[in-house]
Structure 1
Amino acid sequence: MAGGVNRKISAASARSHTRRANRQSSPLTLHSGIFTKLLVVLFVGILALVYQAIQPTAPKIPGTPDGPPVTSPRIKLRDGRHLAYKEHGKPKDIAKYKIVFVHGFDSCRHDAVVANTLSQEIIDDLGIYIVSFDRPGYGESDPDPKRTPKSIALDIEELADKLGLGSRFYVIGYSMGGQVVWGCLKYIPHRLAGAVLLTPVINYWWPGFPANLSTEAYYQQFRQDQWTLRVIHYTPWLTYWWNTQKWFPASSVVAFHPDILSPPDKALISKLAPRGPYVPQVRQQGEYESIHRDLMIGFGTWEFDPMDLENPFPNGRGSVHLWQGDNDLFVPVTLQRFIAHRLPWIKYHELPQTGHFFAHAAGMCDAIVKTLLVGETAASA
């Protein structure tokens, strides 16, 4: 019967065999360890690049060594921030009506369309004082990283108090500034004598809108704006990156693409004088705390729904007016109509064959201000 073969292996031979085996396996182990470390380094590097890409640059605060100079009067707010303002019309000490104007998106205190186009006759006859101001992060007003619809309303109240406008005053907000007026109606209604929302920007995620109505209006936007608003609403921490990256088209509004203008707007703008030399001031602190912060607040999750508001003037001692063009490509008229239906105490004025910039038309602000201050009958006379 055949048996197994026994081999005697010397200790030296065994050690030699082990060394050869170790020499054959160690390169693989070494390469695997290096590869793992390289992956970790690469992953950390990518994370660092991503983090850097989504982090906005620090704002250039006016009056600081690295910031722009302060050229306008400013008030100091309760939290130490400064608010820059500009006064128009009659001196406030003798004016009968005092109005706070709230500028729109990518604008500043100089873009006070009501003050800039109101006729001198109306100013003198009615005795009108208007103050416009740079909203936080714009122009020469300090940024407010904690800005909310409530905080900006309280800023307006404090501005009115510091300037001595009295216990009650009027507010007029244009476009994104119109959104600010909703905050005033919510948080400082007791300080208001009346209010005007000029084609106020809406938020598609306000709960009061029927889902089918807001969805339909949402999908009427350009595809790039749909994606921009999704990013802003659901992942606000990516807003800066989305609006500065070059891979995908971002907001057409930020870029002021000509296709966002309706035919009435194009016709009107072609007749207007160019904006003044102040334009570089608008974004001089940086885009994040100005236009990006505006978008995050305007289309973020609000702390209240404007459609739940109650009439701030149940005794008839004031009025709220909403003006809207029926051919506005920035703000869907269908949603404004729903708001006006939901809040019947708002006096709704829809202008036919009119776009987003109707307030710049000759005589328009005269009619708007007269309607607010002395009533519709007097305004149409």
Structure 2
Amino acid sequence: MGSYPIWSCLKYIPERLAGVAMVVPVINYRWPSFPDSLTREDYRRPLVKLLYWVAKYTPGLLHWSVTRKWFPSPSVMEEKPVFFNKRVMEALKKTEGFPMLTKERLRERSVFNTLRNDFLVCYGDWDFDPMELTSPFPQNQNCVHIWQGYEDKIVPFELQRCISKKLPWIQYHEVADGGHLLVHYNGLREAILRAILLGEEHHLYRPSADKKLSPKLSIVSFHSLGIVC
């Protein structure tokens, strides 16, 4: 699921960290500090809630459904702009894809259970609110970084901006044409390392001017993927 466990490291073992760089970290809609005005209209919220319920209470049904022919395969997801923007699509052509998400791998219960448990931990109830954390590096305000794509259709930039405003000790970087897999963009990994190791920040990765929120994902888009909610 990505870098969300880093929040627990910042909470419980900060003394063991020299620095942190989270790239499009998944957010949890249950974190109480998120204002309802930001999450109420987010189409991802009810979808995550539904998937969480299915994963928690009917894992057998979920395992059966994700390995059926009618369920969208990773190759279908890669082709649909519902999930990824144009630049991500170009980057995907040069990567090996999602080996953990192929039907062949998901048929293995060990792989499925690992991903399911990861999902449940990520979107379940946490015993702390990340937005109430204090800086683990009070002598150095450049040690914790979040990198986010402005065009990310999986993790909304609006919520990442909210986190960075509540935690000003976090260095927030935003890629204007960045999608969810921006780590595959040419030059991004170098920029991430230079930011955390040398404290450099390129002007291209500063938050862009606010625009209107991304439109909701329509039911037509779900139908085009073979998913009916």
Q: How high is the TM-score relative to the length of structure 1?
A: 0.45
C-alpha contact (below 8 Å) 1:370/1:378 kept by paired residues: no
Q: Is 1:330–2:167 an aligned residue pair? A: no
- What letter corresponds to residue 295 of structure 1 in structure 2? F
CA distance in 1, matches of 2:100, 2:28: 29
> 1:264: which partner in 2?
87
C-alpha contact (below 8 Å) 1:228/1:251 kept by paired residues: no
> 1:37: which partner in 2?
none
CA distance in 2, matches of 1:362, 1:228: 33
Please identify which structure carries the higher strand content.
1
2:180 to 351, 356, 360: 356
Tell me the secondary structure at the aligned position of residue 51 of structure 2.
helix
- What letter corresponds to residue 244 of structure 1 in structure 2? H
Tell me the secondary structure at the aligned position of residue 330 of structure 1.
coil
Unaligned runs of 5+ in 2: 205-229
C-alpha contact (below 8 Å) 1:243/1:251 kept by paired residues: no
> 2:32: which partner in 1?
207
Q: Between the two proteins, what is the percent identity of the paired residues?
A: 34
Once the 2 structures are TM-superposed, how far is the Cα of residue 372 of structure 1 from its aligned partner? Answer: 0.3
> 1:124: which partner in 2?
none
Counterparts in 2 of 1:371 and 1:224: CA distance versus 1, 3 Å? closer
Q: Deviations over 1:111-151 (max 9, x none)?
A: xxxxxxxxxxxxxxxxxxxxxxxxxxxxxxxxxxxxxxxxx
Once the 2 structures are TM-superposed, how far is the Cα of residue 371 of structure 1 from its aligned partner? Answer: 0.8
CA distance in 2, matches of 1:228, 1:279: 16
- What letter corresponds to residue 176 of structure 2 in structure 1? P
Once the 2 structures are TM-superposed, how far is the Cα of residue 274 of structure 1 from its aligned partner? Answer: 2.3
Q: Is 1:306–2:130 an aligned residue pair? A: yes
Q: How many equivalent residue pairs?
A: 197
Tell me the secondary structure at the aligned position of residue 193 of structure 2.
helix
Q: Deviations over 1:299-343 (max 9, x none)?
A: 111111111111011111761000000011110111111001111
Q: Which residues of 2 match residues 136-147 of structure 1 at below 5 A? A: none
Counterparts in 2 of 1:359 and 1:253: CA distance versus 1, 3 Å? farther
Once the 2 structures are TM-superposed, how far is the Cα of residue 180 of structure 1 from its aligned partner? Answer: 1.2
Q: How high is the TM-score relative to the length of structure 2?
A: 0.73
C-alpha contact (below 8 Å) 1:324/1:350 kept by paired residues: yes
Q: Which residues of 2 match residues 14-33 of structure 1 at below 5 A? A: none
Structure with larger RCO (C-alpha < 8 A, sep 6+)? 2
Counterparts in 2 of 1:290 and 1:255: CA distance versus 1, 3 Å? farther
Tell me the secondary structure at the aligned position of residue 193 of structure 1.
coil
Tell me the secondary structure at the aligned position of residue 88 of structure 2.
helix
Counterparts in 2 of 1:337 and 1:318: CA distance versus 1, 3 Å? closer
